[in-house]
Amino acid sequence: MVTRRNADPTTLFDAARAGDRVALPRLLSLVERGGEGARAVAAIAYRSTDQAYTVGITGAPGAGKSTLTDQLIVRARTRGLDGSDRVAVLAIDPSSPFSGGAILGDRVRMQNHALDDKVFIRSMATRGHLGGLAVAVPDAVRVLSAVGIPVVLLETVGVGQQEVSVAAATDTTVVVVNPGWGDAIQANKAGLLEIADLFVINKADRPGARETRRDLDQMLDLTQLGDWRPPIVETVASSGEGVDELWTAIGDHRAHLAGTGALESSRRERLAREFHQILVARVEERIDTLLGDDRAAAVVADLAAGSLDPYEAADRLLGAMLPEA
Ligand X SMILES: Nc1nc2c(ncn2[C@@H]2O[C@H](COP(=O)(O)OP(=O)(O)OP(=O)(O)O)[C@@H](O)[C@H]2O)c(=O)[nH]1
The residue within the footprint of ligand X, chosen from 63, 153, 198, 249 (CB under 6 A), is: 63
| CB distance 242 to 204 below 8 Å | yes
For residue 191, the minimal CB distance to Mg ion (Å) is: 19
| CB distance 88 to 52 below 8 Å | yes
For residue 160, the minimal CB distance to Mg ion (Å) is: 16
Asked whether position 244 contacts ligand X by CB under 6 A, the answer is: no
E strand residue ranges, the chain: 53-59, 87-92, 119-124, 151-157, 172-177, 198-202, 232-235
Report what 234 binds from ligand X, Mg ion, none; CB cut-off 5-8 Å by kind: none
Asked whether position 178 contacts Mg ion by CB under 5 A, the answer is: no
Asked whether position 177 contacts ligand X by CB under 6 A, the answer is: no
Distance CA 9, CA 120 (A): 19
Asked whether position 72 contacts ligand X by CB under 6 A, the answer is: no
Binding positions for ligand X, 93-132, rule CB under 6 A: 102, 105, 109
- State how far the alpha carbon of 111 is from the alpha carbons of 70, 74, 120, 242, in Å: 9, 12, 11, 22
Comparison of 32 and 106: residue with beta carbon closer to Mg ion:
106
| Window of 114-122, 189-197, 198-206, 280-288 that interacts with ligand X by CB under 6 A | 198-206
| CB distance 88 to 121 below 8 Å | yes
Asked whether position 172 contacts Mg ion by CB under 5 A, the answer is: no
Report what 100 binds from ligand X, Mg ion, none; CB cut-off 5-8 Å by kind: none
Question: C-alpha 64: how far from its chain's center?
Answer: 18
Residues contacting residue 129 through CB under 8 Å, at least 6 positions apart: 31, 32, 33, 34, 38, 135, 136, 139
Asked whether position 277 contacts Mg ion by CB under 5 A, the answer is: no
| CB distance 204 to 241 below 8 Å | yes
Q: Largest Cα–Cα distance of the chain, in whole Å?
A: 70
Binding positions for Mg ion, 79-138, rule CB under 5 A: 106
Residues that contact ligand X, how many (by CB under 6 A): 18
Q: Which of 227, 224, 245 has its CA nearest to residue 236? A: 245
Comparison of 66 and 172: residue with beta carbon closer to Mg ion:
66
| CB distance 105 to 111 below 8 Å | no
Asked whether position 238 contacts ligand X by CB under 6 A, the answer is: yes
Report what 135 binds from Mg ion, ligand X, none; CB cut-off 5-8 Å by kind: none
The residue within the footprint of Mg ion, chosen from 66, 126, 156, 173 (CB under 5 A), is: 66
Comparison of 162 and 238: residue with beta carbon closer to ligand X:
238
User: Which chain residues interact with ligand X by CB under 6 A?
Assistant: 61-67, 102, 105, 109, 157, 202-203, 205-206, 236-238
